[in-house]
Every structure is written in C-alpha cells, then in structure tokens.
Amino acid sequence: MKKLLLSASLLCSLQFYSQEKTTELNCYNKWAAKFEDRGAEDVKDGVYEDVIITNRQGSKATCHNGKAEVKSGKVIRFYILLSDGSHEEVKKTWKNKSNENVTVVGGISKSMITVHGELINILWPNKIKPKKAKPTTAPEPTDD
C-alpha cells in the first residue's frame, strides 16, 4: 500500500512539473515584451510594408508579415504578405466594430476582436527603440 501511495504521489508531482515546463511564450508575447521593455517611436500616417499581423486565440498565436495603412493616427486597412509576394487584405467579421478607430500606442495597435474570439494586433517592429546602453563598471582600486 505504501508503494502504491508513493508511486501515485510521484506520478502526480511529475505531471505537475511537466505542465509547468510546457508554458512557453507565443510570438505575440515575445514581441509585446520587447516593445514594453524598449518602447517605440510614434507611428505616423502612411503605408508601412514592414509590419507584423498577429492573430491570437487562447494561448495560441500566429504572426505574419504584412503591411498596414495609417491615416489620421488610425489603422485604415491592413494586409498579410503571401508567399508569392502579393498581399491579401485581412477581412473578418468584427465584434462591436472593433476594427474602427484603431489607434497605435507604443508601436502596437489596439486589439481588434472577431466574432469568433480572435484577437488581432498589428506590430511595427521597425519603430522599436534601440537598446539602452548599459553602465560601465568602475575599476578596482590599486596600490599605486
């Protein structure tokens, strides 16, 4: 009986440990952390052909290259880059008109929500500020 209880508790602890290790950051979380850490320059009006379109549902995310048009500080339309070099406009059925008046803050667009619960964001990776310089370490004193 002791062996059975010991093996059952060991199995449960191994299962708990393996579940903790499987938690990984998805592509959106990795980019969002970088934007949060460094900050980003303002996104001005224009057409940007170097954006990343993220699509999240639950803990899963996909990130695609694309282009986006910004006018009056708001995202007007956006496209995913296809393997043949062409672009396809992202057209979804949006929940509560979440695709309207989409502003860009800190290099990331406001989240747009589809009726299927997908969260869509547009990222401007070329607007990320450069790494900050690290402080230099002073030398140790000498006996001169």
Considering the domain boundaries, does residue 12 fall inside one?
no
Q: How many domains does the chain have?
A: 1
pLDDT category of residue 37 using cuts at 50, 70 and 90: very high
Residue 5: the pLDDT is: 46
pLDDT category of residue 25 using cuts at 50, 70 and 90: confident
Residue 120: in which H helix or E strand, if any? strand 119-123
Considering the domain boundaries, does residue 114 fall inside one?
yes
Considering the domain boundaries, does residue 45 fall inside one?
yes
Q: Calculate the dihedral angle through the C-alpha atoms of 84, 89, 95, 98, rounding to the nearest 10 degrees.
A: 120
Considering the domain boundaries, does residue 14 fall inside one?
no
Considering the domain boundaries, does residue 132 fall inside one?
no
Residue 132: the pLDDT is: 84
**Cα distance between residue 61 and residue 144, in whole Å:** 60
Considering the domain boundaries, does residue 74 fall inside one?
yes
Q: Which domain holds residue 75?
A: 27-127
Considering the domain boundaries, does residue 134 fall inside one?
no
